[in-house]
Amino acid sequence: MPEPDQRTAQRPRRHIDQPRLIAFDALRAINSGGGYANLVTAEMTHGLQHRDAGFVIELVHGTCRMQGSYDRIIEHASGRPLSDLQAAVLEVLRLACHQLFRMRVPTHAAVASSVDLAGVAISERVTGLVNAIVRKLSRKDFDEWCDEIGAGFGDLADMALRFAHPRWIVDALADALQSDDDELAALLDADNEPPIPMLVVRPGLARRPELMTEGARRTPWSPWGVERPGNPSELPAIRQGRAGVQDEGSQLVVQAATAVTPRLKGPWLDLCAGPGGKSALLRGLCPSVLIAAEPQPHRAELVAHALRAYPGGYQVVVADGRHPAWAPASMALTLADVPCTGLGALRRRPESRWRRDQSQVAELAELQRELLDQAIASTMPGGLVAYVTCSPHRAETIDVVAGAQGVEILDAPSMIPEVPEAASRLDDRFIQLWPHIHGTDAMFCALLCRT
């Protein structure tokens, strides 16, 4: 006879609720399977009651966000390196940390449910180890563990531990912020607050009142945005492609880029278009034809899907922006929203801060320079290039633009004068938005006129 499934062959006394078991499976899919927290949780919570789905999302996303600090606490409390722990056991301990330190779960429930989860999802053999470590974790709160582990740390190292950011990211943000530790702490804290979904109407297809259901509010600066809690797909305009989901920071850089274009006629180019949010906004504003280029076919399909509600006036091209499929000097406006580390969007991508490595910055910067060079070459004299990143890192922003040839740098913040403190502190000709100031992703934008 075939052996019974491990989870159904446990002792009858072991029972674990479905949300915690789903959270365990989700964390395994993210950390061992390379999944993305938002996609994994969306798939695994489909059909769950609202309360249970919310519990899973908070537990998984919060654990991913705080994971590096939780790992240091687990290592310290257990007295053994993480490599000595089975990967699945480590996931149970991480989930226990978040319940103990960040959720309103009673200590006895966090301990008991972690032991039961280990017995049901892994093996009865590991329950003793999990019980011992979780009980030790529960003896101190998060700040007390940080006090003990961080004794003797410098200020930035201590902030990295307490706010769960890799040290190299803290250093990069401190450099871009050019401020004191209090403001840096406010930024790191804002990175740990999940944002409310931000919606955008497609110009010419929808108007904001369609999205203004109960609990919604207009964005403070973007003329197209609505902040609305809940599931965006509940709205007909979203399902029909007449509106989309897009952070206000992304809307504002498009607003800045299109503020000076009417002086030239010609097609517009979205050089790195996937997944298509900016392309859809540009298409609604473009007086000519929009070319949306994306090198990966599956992402090009996402771009086409984002543009589907428009009757025409656009072309989606599967092409690498470094090797263009269009004539040089043919675009009136080129938007280069280049691949980057994503340090500006850490609040909406909870797992990403632990997947990036400082060595990737130099590799990405080289790609960014190549894409900017081609964006300039694709733009007609007198045309505009908007260089955009979702990262405030110096090496991905002002250092890349500093190497641009044949352009005049424009005063980008003046294109969105209603937005306070929008100028980069590294160079006030550029836009730099911030989560703790603007409630947006930390978007960077440079506007360059080809000479």
Residue 173: inside a domain, yes or no? Answer: no
pTM, to two decimals = 0.93
Of 108, 127, 143, which residue is a domain's last?
A: 143
Same domain, 132 and 268: no
Say which residues have a Cβ less than 8 Å from residue 156's Cβ, sequence separation at least 6.
167, 170, 171, 174
Question: Whose structure tokens read 């009980």?
Answer: 135
Instruction: Check residue 4 and give its pLDDT.
Output: 45
Residue 82: inside a domain, yes or no? Answer: yes
Of 245, 262, 279, which residue is a domain's last?
A: 245
Residue 255: inside a domain, yes or no? Answer: yes
Q: Could you tell me the CATH number of the domain that includes residue 218?
A: 3.30.70
* Distance from the Cα of residue 321 to its chain's centroid: 23
Same domain, 283 and 217: no
Closest by CA position to 441, among listed 185, 191, 183: 191
**Cβ-count burial of 358 within 10 angstroms (0-12 exposed, 13-18 middle, 19+ buried)?**
middle
Q: Could you tell me the CATH number of the domain that includes residue 325?
A: 3.40.50.150
- Per-residue tens of pLDDT for the chain, all 451 residues: 344 455 444 454 788 899 999 999 999 999 999 999 999 999 999 999 999 999 999 999 999 999 999 999 999 999 999 999 999 999 999 999 999 999 999 999 999 999 999 999 999 999 999 999 999 999 999 999 999 999 999 999 999 999 999 999 999 999 999 999 999 999 999 999 999 999 999 999 999 999 998 899 999 999 999 999 988 999 999 999 999 999 999 999 999 999 976 568 999 999 999 999 999 999 999 999 999 999 999 999 999 999 999 999 999 999 999 999 999 999 999 999 999 999 999 999 999 999 999 999 999 999 999 999 999 999 999 999 999 999 999 999 999 999 999 999 999 999 999 999 999 999 999 999 999 999 999 999 999 999 9
Same domain, 285 and 416: yes
Residue 165, token pair as written in the block: 């950011």
Spatial distance between the Cα atoms of 145 and 168, rounded to a whole number of angstroms: 22
Residue 126: inside a domain, yes or no? Answer: yes
Same domain, 318 and 408: yes
Q: Could you tell me the CATH number of the domain that includes residue 131?
A: 1.10.940.10
Same domain, 307 and 405: yes
Domain containing 210 equals 196-245
Same domain, 253 and 230: no
| Number of domains observed in the structure of the chain | 3
Residue 313: inside a domain, yes or no? Answer: yes
Same domain, 209 and 256: no
Spatial distance between the Cα atoms of 187 and 432, rounded to a whole number of angstroms: 13
Residue 190: inside a domain, yes or no? Answer: no
Same domain, 222 and 341: no
Residue 391: inside a domain, yes or no? Answer: yes
Closest by CA position to 295, among listed 240, 351, 405, 374: 374
Rg, Å, the chain Cα set: 24
Same domain, 218 and 260: no
**272 in active site:** no
Same domain, 281 and 417: yes
Same domain, 234 and 264: no
Residue 350: inside a domain, yes or no? Answer: yes
Same domain, 256 and 358: yes
User: Which entry of 97, 146, 340, 390 is annotated as an active-site residue?
Assistant: 390
Of 229, 245, 261, which residue is a domain's last?
A: 245
